[in-house]
Structure 1
């Protein structure tokens, strides 16, 4: 049992960390200095950083090399996202990279034909193009099998109609991976997945949201109104949409949350410096037991969450079908990030509620308990895998 990254992965992580500190220190989404533009988002600067990340091999990290990616496994991908989260104050940018890579590119890798992979992946890996995954709807969030977006087969194409919301990267996306119902009411086999170019007639994107956190990640509604998509733009077979979605969520729930490990590490290190320098009653506040114990608790949460996440990543890399490890990792990291953010704010006193790393971490962490399946849904998933819902668990010997 080895808890250290192998030397090659550790070296790559350090390289990405240096790159992020040098090149990706763009808008952090602080409430006082948010970039100009709709939703407080600067599309030009986002594209600039995205292209740099593409040249570094980050936005195509887990895509095989023959399609333009870096060919990393889940453990190395988690290390890359952890480095992004630590090196850049803009956790939203790392979140956008993860949504592009795990929810959009990996479905093409795992379900696309050779022609589809060669046609779409190289530009998506280089940073030339950006992808968005359209699944959530106003009436279908956690209940992802009951989508109202329809895809009707007509001759050699499909016509898509519906509305998606909370779509990460939508304002800047060139390619949309869209989940739609080809057999309404068909349950697990009623959904299908399509890859749709941004310029396709009938596809429109709303204005960027103004969000509490992750402001560096552009998010918007997507509307499909008589959008004609050729049949060869379908990923996998008709009815395979739920399998596509489930596969992408295993990647996302494991590797995406590594960005929060990095962000927590960055804020924790800054907190240790702060309590060592800030003096009250003639002594650094880090010498007060109430303060030092809180810092220890922050460290405990981070290290425990990190172990769970890399355990899940190792299982994903090894082809494990375990449903429990990714769910536990998502739960542990998201809850730890919120509490570490709260602690970091508290230890800074009044400074904690001003623009800075502590309050930004807290705001960025709040959505982590909701996206990629709410934490309540993750607990349902774990309970189901343990046999606690619908049937009795088997006796343990």
Structure 2
């Protein structure tokens, strides 16, 4: 069990003061499916976007575990799940690879803006034809003097419609493969880069999603993150942090959901007794507690192993599977505990279900995670 020190607790408590304002109008915002720039400016004031980045770039220089602890607090205090998702997307998709693989010049130019939230980040990986099979991406980047020229299209780009800078993964070798993909840092206003209209989706509606189109987009060669052909090394580094950042937010959301269910079960009367006195209701709440604690432990334990330099391929897959499925299961349980009220939009619980479904798909679908674990066990050969 991790014991958080006074400084870590103070960071999380400082964020909690913004909870009511960040949550205001979250149900209406979901219905409108619009990104709130006002709430993003509020996020900037919290300082949460700067947590994992070096102080010389305007960051707070916090460890992975501290960053996760505060992000868990975001999930607990902010009811706008889409906003939470946009926060972790900008941090993990752009800030993390920039800090780990960017040149000094790139970090000087971009990292302070990402850390402050002045610039919103995104990454473009998925394509309509290849889906989860990133090895088969068709977006090409061809060297032309001191530039690369990008052509192709990406889909399911979270933050796409509002991003200022995008990490784009493209093939730099005709055959592609593990050594044929390169990561580029691309300004969203680069000529030839077109952003599609926001795509309507089931949940996380306040986090905008779009397609990106690349038509002879010229990107300076010094915008490569890492090395040419090393894109999958960058992506592997990013995805580990994306899973830890995003799904620890979900545990905060589950903690809030548990508290709501407990309060409701103790005060809602049925046949002269609190509904929590009925075993069928109590068991749902106990299962929520078990799922929450299991997911939280797997995420923090995996983060500790990652920091220690261990191979966390299986751990990461298990943590992602457990948390996403627990988030979905507990969101459905909450609707059932609240009964007819839970089914009504005004309680915000049906929105949690729609948001939770996404977690079983993004950051590598759960089917991919099962395949990964099976492969590490020597199956399927």
Aligning the two structures, in what range does the TM-score lie when normalised by the shorter sequence? over 0.9
Match in the other structure for 2:9: 10
1:124 counterpart (114, 122, 131): 114
User: For residues 67-86 of structure 1, what are the structure 2 equivalents within 5 Å?
Assistant: 67-86=57-76
Offset at residue 226 of structure 1 (A): 1.0
Q: Where do residues 225-236 of structure 1 align in structure 2 (5 Å cutoff)? A: 225-236=215-226
Q: For the structure 1 residues 26 and 194, does the alpha-carbon distance in structure 2 shift closer, same or farther, using more than 3 Å as the test?
A: farther
Q: Deviations over 1:122-154 (max 9, x none)?
A: 011111110110001101221111111000111
Q: Is the 8 A contact 2:148 2:219 kept in 1?
A: yes
Tell me the TM-score normalised to structure 2 length: 0.96
> Deviations along 1:14-60, whole A, 9 cap, x unmatched?
222232x14311443x4x66464xxx21x4xx222222322322112
1:102 aligns with 2:101: no
Offset, 1:379: 1.7
Please state if 1:327 is matched with 2:317: yes
* Distance in structure 1 (CA, Å) of the matches to 2:29 and 2:242: 30
Give the one of 135, 141, 154 matched to 2:144: 154
Query: After superposition, where does 1:1-397 map in structure 2 within 5 Å?
Result: 2-19=1-18, 21-28=19-26, 30=27, 34=30, 36=32, 40-41=33-34, 43=35, 46-355=36-345, 356-390=347-381
Cα distance in 1 between the residues matched to 2:24 and 2:156: 23
Count of aligned pairs: 380
Conservation of the 8 A alpha-carbon contact between 1:170 and 1:219 = yes
Q: Measure the CA separation in 2 of the matches of 1:308 and 1:61.
A: 22
Q: Secondary structure at the match of 2:194?
A: strand
* Structure 1: gaps (5+ residues): 391-397
- Once residues 5 and 210 of structure 1 are traced to their aligned partners in structure 2, the CA distance between those partners, rounded to angstroms, is 40
CA distance in 2, matches of 1:213, 1:80: 23
5+ long unaligned stretches in structure 2: none
2 CA distance for matches of 1:205 and 1:27? Answer: 27
- CA 196–26 in structure 1, closer or farther in 2 if over 3 Å, else same: farther
Normalising by structure 1, we get a TM-score of: 0.92
Aligned CA RMSD, in angstroms, stands at 1.5
